[in-house]
Amino acid sequence: MPRAGFERKVAVVTGGSQGIGSAITQALLASGATVVCIDRVKPEVAEGAVHFAEADLYDSQAIEYVVEETVRQFDHIDILVNCAGIYPSKPAIAIDEAEWDAVLDLNLKAPFLLCRAVAKTMIQRHIPGSIVNIASTAAQSARPGVAHYASSKAGLVMLTRVLALEWAPYQIRVNAVCPGLVETDTLMKSLSTPTLMEEHREKAAKIPLGRAAKPGEIAEAVLNFVDPATSSYTTGQALFIDGGYTAGQTFATFKEQMDECLVQL
């Protein structure tokens, strides 16, 4: 359903062509916003007319240009969602400098450059804007094989907090959404063998709510952050959408104990 006032909002979403980014793009469109999707691949969006801007987010000049062009075409930007990112997995001892730089540049440096460029336009035009950075549970919960990815997402959460403090006087709210395991189309297509599918089920079983998230559930959290009706007094926060994963571990045997207690009540 459209949200009040969103029909006048201009939103920029990076990585909006697939996965979580696509769900965010579609949710913003459905809410009535004008959406500019920055990606390398044109999105396939059924409803609404998304405006596509092809850009290399490793290129700082390309970032500045696409923000300037968006403002030139639509006069202002109200919302920025930094969703583009990569998730390679490799033991730290095998990560070379080029791979480290590639992950940190796309997952942390590019969001900083976009936040800076968009915030400048918001401040100049006195726009009470909202920025949401898509981080990860890896920002808080360490796991092997993702030294570069986890470092980039932890940095993104701290960047979110610093920018929230610096830009609060200008009524620019900056928050982060930290998804856990999400069943995107890309993930599900990668589960091409019974072994991989079983590993996925085991990961989901460790989540207190017993399942992975759907992309739309992450998009809804983003919408709540950018909507002044629900989050006008919220900034500098990192919201973990992970089914309870970062809260702690649970055990199947405890569920059995709970069931026994309920029978006795």
Average pLDDT, the chain: 92
175 pairs with which residues across the strands?
132
Residue 114 in any domain: the answer is yes
Whether the pLDDT of residue 194 is over 90: the answer is no
Let me know how many helices (H) and strands (E) the chain has, helices first. Answer: 10, 7
3-state secondary structure of 30: helix
Task: Based on the residue annotation, tell me whether 87 is a catalytic residue of this protein.
Answer: no
DSSP code for 139: G
Domain containing 209 equals 6-264
Q: What is the pLDDT of residues 160-171, one digit of tens each?
A: 999 999 999 999
The model carries a pTM of 0.93
Domain tally, the chain: 1
Q: Return the CA Rg of the chain.
A: 19
CA distance to 103, 146, 224, 244, per residue, from 119 (Å): 24, 30, 20, 33
Contact 130, 172 (CB under 8 A): yes
Q: What is the pLDDT of residues 15-53, one digit of tens each?
A: 998 999 999 999 999 999 999 999 987 766 545 578 999
Here the CATH number for the domain that contains residue 136 is 3.40.50.720
Residue 1 in any domain: the answer is no
Whether the pLDDT of residue 54 is over 80: the answer is yes
Residue 19 in any domain: the answer is yes
Residue 29 in any domain: the answer is yes
User: Catalytic pick from 58, 65, 149, 245?
Assistant: 149
Residue 215 in any domain: the answer is yes
Q: What is the pLDDT of residues 137-150, one digit of tens each?
A: 999 999 999 999 99
Of 112, 235, 92, which is closest to residue 165 (Cα–Cα)?
Answer: 235
Mean pLDDT across the stretch 155-179? 98
